[in-house]
Structure 1
Amino acid sequence: MPVVSLSADQTAKRFGVHKAITNFPSSLTPQEEANVKVVLEYMEIAYSPKNNKGASSVKHLCAPGNTFAAPSTFPEADSAEAYSDSHARVMSSLQDLHIVQFDVVVAKENFVSLRYTATGSHIGEPHSGIAATRRKAEWTAAGNFVIDEQSGLIQHWWKDWDKMRMWKQLGWVRPDNDSVEFT
């Protein structure tokens, strides 16, 4: 299947999210289109310091009993709503955090996978006792989603994130980092 790129305007028109997609399948079924729309809307909210007010911000996109797995980055979050809560706390430190673009979005039946580039500056609250460094970071992350076939909502999400790259750029790595838990 050929791959296409979508500009931010094309993505906004098609999915309601104003972010470019660099690599995207040239054709999807109507159900795959709907699944991508749910995932991109979730990501747009979860990565907005203005719109992410925690679990209630994304609840309408999450199936009851959904699960989330990212043990190395958000070990306490076990649902897509809990991730939104945890991410809202990170954004209190990175008050300009946002997704720059979706590098890859792939959909097949009820699976949606994406890789994205994000950026943010530590201009807000202290992070794990580290006062605002005023430093900026850019990093990548990936998510694999399963959409519930009955409700059309997020049933499960696995997340992988290049957290160390982000932390080094922001000045959040301490000399004794081996004894410190990531937060």
Structure 2
Amino acid sequence: MPIIKLQEQETLARFGISKAIDNFPANLTSQEEKNVKTVLEYMDIAYSPTRSGAAAVSHLCAPGNTFAAPSTFPNAHSAEEYAEDHKRVMNALSDLHIVQFDVVTAKENFVSLRYTATGSHNGTDHNGIPPTGRRAQWTAAGNFVIDEETGLIKHWWKDWDKMRMWKQLGWVRPDNDATEFV
């Protein structure tokens, strides 16, 4: 399947989200396009400084949906709970945003994406650590299952390069700058 790159304007026209997609399948079915739109809308809201939280994303979440990211969001078990937990991260990193979607792909009711995000710890304390003023850039990935009947998010697995982010922000203790992750 051929891969294309979508510029911000193309992604905006096609999906309503103004972020470039570096790698995207050239040919999707109309249903796969709708599924991608649902996921990108969810991500856009979850990373919005003004619209984040469970109430902002609930219209995109199937009843009884599940979420799994035990190493990064162990207390979140639904897409709405993730949005609430992520809102706390957004409060600490007041300029947190997705730089671009590195890869977005879809097949039937599955949507997978990988994205690059950035932010500075200029907001609230994070786990008792006062704002460091440091900036970080990292990647994360999500694999979504869309409910075939409702077109809403039914399940989401998330992987996030949290330790790289935490090291850059000064959130790794006791000696953040000497810590290496292999």
Give the TM-score, by structure 2 length. Answer: 0.95
Q: How does 1:44-123 map to 2 (within 5 A)?
A: 44-52=44-52, 54-123=53-122
Task: Give the Cα–Cα distance (whole angstroms) in 2 for the partners of residues 154 and 126 of structure 1.
Answer: 31
Give the counterpart letter for 1:118 in structure 2. Answer: A
Number of the residue aligned with 1:30: 30
Partner of 2:2: 2
Per-residue CA deviation, residues 124-173 of structure 1 (Å, 9 max, x unaligned), is 10101111000000000000000000000000000000000000000000
> Aligned equivalents of 2:72 and 2:49: distance in 1?
19
What's the offset of the Cα at 1:41? 0.1
Segments ≥4 residues shifted beyond 2 Å: none
Structure 2: distance between partners of 1:137 and 1:57: 26
Gaps of 5+ in 2: 177-182
Q: TM-score, normalised by structure 1?
A: 0.95
> Separation in 1 of the partners of 2:27 and 2:137?
30
SS at match of 1:67: strand
Tell me what 1:137 maps to: 136
Q: Which amino acid aligns with 1:56?
A: A
Specify every segment of 5 or more residues in structure 1 that has no aligned partner in the other structure, as ranges.
178-183
Looking at structure 2, the residues matched to 35 and 115 of structure 1 have their Cα atoms a distance apart, in angstroms, of 16
Instruction: Quote the offset at 1:116 in angstroms.
Output: 0.1
Instruction: Look up the match of 1:19.
Output: 19
Other structure's SS at 1:36 match: helix
Structure 2 counterpart of 1:2, one-letter code: P
Alignment-mate amino acid for residue 23 of structure 2:
N
CA deviations 1:55-106 (Å, max 9, x no partner) are 1000000000000000000000000000000000111100100000000001
CA distance in 1, matches of 2:175, 2:131: 19
SS at match of 1:41: helix
Structure 1 match to 2:162: 163
SS in 1 for 2:101: strand
Give the paired residue count: 176
Counterpart CA distance in 1 for 2:81 and 2:117 is: 20
CA distance in structure 1 between the aligned counterparts of 2:128 and 2:159, rounded to whole angstroms: 25
Q: Percent identity?
A: 73
- 2:81 partner SS: helix
Partners of 2:110 and 2:123 in 1: CA distance: 35
Name the residue aligned to 2:39.
39
Q: How far off its partner does 1:176 sit?
A: 7.9
Tell me which amino acid in the other structure corresponds to 1:135.
R
**SS of alignment partner, residue 168 of structure 1:** helix
